[in-house]
Amino acid sequence: MAGITDVCFRQLMDEMQAGVLISELVSAKGLFYNSEKTRKMMRIHKSPGTIVGIQLFGESPEDIVQSVSVVEETGADFVDINLGCPVKKVVKKGCGAALMRDPAYLEIFLSTIKKGIRLPLTVKMRTGWNENELTIHECVQAAYQSGCEWVTIHGRTRAQGYEGKADWNLIAEVKSRAKLPIIGNGDIRNADQAKQRLHETGADAVMIGRGALRNPWIFKECAGVDAQRSGIRLLNRYLSGLRENYDTRSTLILLRKFSSWLAFGYPGA
């Protein structure tokens, strides 16, 4: 999640037992041009047993291959290619969800990356460009043919953005045909929903994104661990991480944003 899952937020989710963590969206070209801002987005905190991936987007497979040498220096465990970003400035460059419009080219794109890097390769995608271009089956096959380790599917099209509901029936259909692990994503707000989606779809795992903003304890709840839901304790822990990584102004902005997520749904918030 761009602008959200920075090193401080990921560290907090690590402590909440998220298990596998992925960075915010990182520009391969920004890494190629040695952008300080882009490099900061890849800072990694790792505790024993934690798996961390860096999510990249790029206009060409060559851009991504060149940037992975920088990714390797961070200690990341895998590279995730974003095929789902719906933002106009990203898709206008042929990146993000735009790559799903041509599954044949996507296979070439991913195969070129796979051959040029040493880290495991994964992808995250949507169900298609719009309801008339549901290319998810073809794109999952392209990921399989190119040697990806798994595919994460957000159950909406690019046209939907985050409107409507995630189509978990389609995710289940894809899982029934896929030859590689499928991770489902979309509209999971609590542990019961996560377990229900796993049971109903047969997915190998679920990815939780926006649901963790308002319920950061969701990962502990999924693991059956006492979550000890204390917003004050969580805010203090997050503030400690912010102070280690940001200046005062940025710390205040990010803390205010995080506080608003936690307060959502409380009377008077």
Phi and psi dihedrals of 35, rounded to 5? Answer: -65, 125
The residue count for the chain: 269
> For strand 51-57 and strand 26-27, is the pairing parallel, antiparallel, or unpaired?
parallel
User: Is residue 85 annotated as part of the catalytic site, yes or no?
Assistant: yes
Radius of gyration for the chain, computed over Cα atoms and rounded to the nearest angstrom: 18
Q: Which two tokens stand for residue 180?
A: 């590689």
DSSP of 183-229: EEES---SHHHHHHHHHHH--SEEE-STHHHH-TTHHHHHTT-----
Q: Which two tokens stand for residue 8?
A: 């401080």
CA 269 to chain CA centroid, nearest Å:
28
Choose, from 85, 95, 148, 222, the residue flagged as catalytic: 85
As annotated, the active-site residues are: 85
